[in-house]
Amino acid sequence: MRTIDSLADEIAATGFRCTGCGACCSEVAGGSNVVMVAPVEVRAVADAIGSTFAGVAEPYPESVETEDGTRYTFDWCLRRDGGRCLFLEGGRCSVYRARPWICRTYPFMLDGDRLIVSACSGLGAEISREKACLLAALLIGRQEAERVEEEGIRAVMASTAMPPGTRAVVDSEGVWPVYG
């Protein structure tokens, strides 16, 4: 597992400063801004703006279809409107304090111990040690949150028999029939 110090070193060597361009919140290529979220993240956004779960999230677009006609996807994604995140207002995030892990850590993510860097116009800019450490801590927190969510999904999958033809979202809290 990566330490905050070693990750911060790598982030600092890469360099990053958000330019506020909003490109990561808008669709610049097919599905580029799909923000996958766990139920706890959906509720955080919904609570912040007085909305509902369904008002904030929809089923993650990639689904799995089995031979018996069962179709399911894992987790949710933030709703978008015309390719833009529903919560991008005037070029700013209107749910900034409640924004999901992916938004907090973009353009970085961890794949195991490997730091993955996505395209971003803010890369290469000087970053303070304090901010690099904060991003590193967030990345480690995100990885742990994703591990817990995946573990929850596996437990739900192992304990739930889905009748043939089920169309649903599976998250760490259960199976939610949502598809028409």
User: What is the footprint of ligand SF4 within residues 68-107 (CB under 6 A)?
Assistant: 78, 85, 87-88, 93, 95, 99, 103
User: What is the footprint of ligand SF4 within residues 115-144 (CB under 6 A)?
Assistant: none
Binding to ligand SF4 by residue 56, rule CB under 6 A? no
SS percent in the chain: helix, strand, coil, step 5:
40, 25, 40
Name every residue whose Cβ is closer than 8 Å to that of residue 84 and which is 6 or more positions away in sequence: 25, 26, 27, 33
**Plot region of 90 (φ>0 → left; ψ -120 to 50 → alpha; else → beta):** left
User: Smaller CB distance to ligand SF4: residue 93 or 123?
Assistant: 93
User: Smaller CB distance to ligand SF4: residue 78 or 168?
Assistant: 78
Annotate each residue in 26-55 with x if it binds ligand SF4 (CB under 6 A) or - if it does not, as one string: -------x-x--------------------
User: Smaller CB distance to ligand SF4: residue 99 or 167?
Assistant: 99
Binding to ligand SF4 by residue 18, rule CB under 6 A? no
Give the dihedral sign, CA 99/105/110/111: positive
Neighbours of 133 (CB within 10 A): 18
- Looking up tokens 């690099």 gives 132
Burial bucket for residue 180 (CB in 10 Å: 0-12, 13-18, 19+): exposed
Binding to ligand SF4 by residue 108, rule CB under 6 A? no
User: Smaller CB distance to ligand SF4: residue 36 or 169?
Assistant: 36
Query: Nearest distance from residue 73's CB to ligand SF4, in Å?
Result: 19
> Which one-letter DSSP state was computed for residue 26?
B
Query: Nearest distance from residue 5's CB to ligand SF4, in Å?
Result: 27
